[in-house]
Structure 1
Amino acid sequence: MKKINVLCYYLFASIGVAFLSSPATAQSVKKYTQNVEPQGATSVQMQFTQSAGTLKMSGGATTHLMEGVFTMTNQAWKPEISFTNQNNKGTLIVKQPGGKNVNMDDGDSNDWQVRLNNSIPMDMELTVGAGQSTVDLRNTKLSKLHLKAGAGDFTVNLANTSVPTLDIDAGVGEMKLDLSGKWSNNLEAEINGGIGEITLKLPRKTGVRVKVNGLGSIGHEGFKKEEGYYVNESYKKTSSTLQIEINCGLGSVNLELEK
């Protein structure tokens, strides 16, 4: 079973978010817009790497594979974007130059707004450093997601994606993960964590079984404990099952059922 890692240290998270959220002066901002065409690709592997800043990612691109708007106060942070297509299998890479060696001062900003195609199946590897990330991939054709997060607040909405494989390493801060909606297949997922808060929103009408390891507190309203697992009322009653393992240290885990 694959794992979702969550390392949440609130002190560093609050410092990192405050540090990154200072407004930049209007005259210092550089803005770049770039669209990527699918070029006939019927599936795509995607790699996004942002060292620090804010990220807003969603579906909604209609004819393009990706629509990106990148706003920053340092031209050296302009992301490098490449796309190749071999035998209708595409590879999209969007990365911030310099890896982790990005120093942001008061007044600096590095904001990515990315929209992805809803109809092309995609595997995604997403690495984000310090900052705030909102990833809303509802109703996209997501076949795999590996998210590695640094310091900050991370909101990930995968409702109605039926993604079969999920692997998240979340760093310093708070992780909110929405897995609600309709499921047409099984899910194998794992979350490994340190200190912080993990909130999972889970479906009512699809079977769910969650294993939680670690020293943190657990909120599980609507779930019952059965042989060391937390299960909902639909467990063993549906053709699809969400199997989730969470390994956390000091912190809290909140299991919530969709309304």
Structure 2
Amino acid sequence: MEKILKHEVEGFGVTYDRYVMSRHQQILTRDLNLNKILEAPTHGAKAASSIYSLGFAQAGCEVNLINPDDKMIGVWKRLGLDKNLKLHRDIDVYNLPFEDNSFDLVWNFVTFTELKDIPAFLKEMKRVTGKYIYLISCNNFQLGYPLHRCIHKIFGFPWNHGNTYFNFIGNVKKELRKTGLRISESGAIDTPPWPDPVGPRDIRLHKNFGKDKQYIPEWEVPIEKYMKTGFPLWIKTLGAYDITLRKGYLKLPFSHLFYVLAEK
């Protein structure tokens, strides 16, 4: 099937979670004295790929992207954040082409749950990091998860969001400990006053995009504009509460995402 590009704008919810992630990345860079980052792999989850590490770059880190989407590298260039950006293409994520302890922090946003051998991937992350592993996953403890399951059942969409075992924070912690890592921080992040991910946008994305679908998304990402001109007051206000109360389980029933920071 010949694929056709279809214009798609990231919704305000995606823009908000990108803002909160960038703020957290800047805090981690400051508090942990980070300089060299690896994101592996970098494909998107119902959003544009390869721009999840912008916050690390803003904080002055060298950012290495595994298997990037070349269409999105223009965002880095237009923001002037490509000077310390390194791209690594056609890489086997179970056999990363780096020496042991090559990075200060190795991380993944959500998509590690889609891999066939997650324990092997975590061991490889551990090998190439000098100290920290940082995982963000969808939070299936939040109220939107059963609604999302219902959408898949009602419309007959195949489940394409990875291994749901790793959408629970306790299971991610357990697997990281089995890998020989110590949990240094964890919490709930991306906590706006709406459930995730349900609604017309979610249904449209499932109908239009996927391996067996006709279209490939051509993403427009509003965060690029906001990083140049400033973020709306509502994003900054909500983000301040979100970041301040991120640690622990307080926001877990409402947060779209959770994070776990582990170290050797």
- TM-score in terms of structure 1 length: 0.26
Q: TM-score, normalised by structure 2?
A: 0.26
Instruction: Report which of the two has the higher share of helix.
Output: 2
Q: When you count strand as a share of all residues, which structure comes out higher?
A: 1
* Larger RCO, structure (CA 8 Å, separation 6 or more): 2
Name the larger-Rg structure. Answer: 1
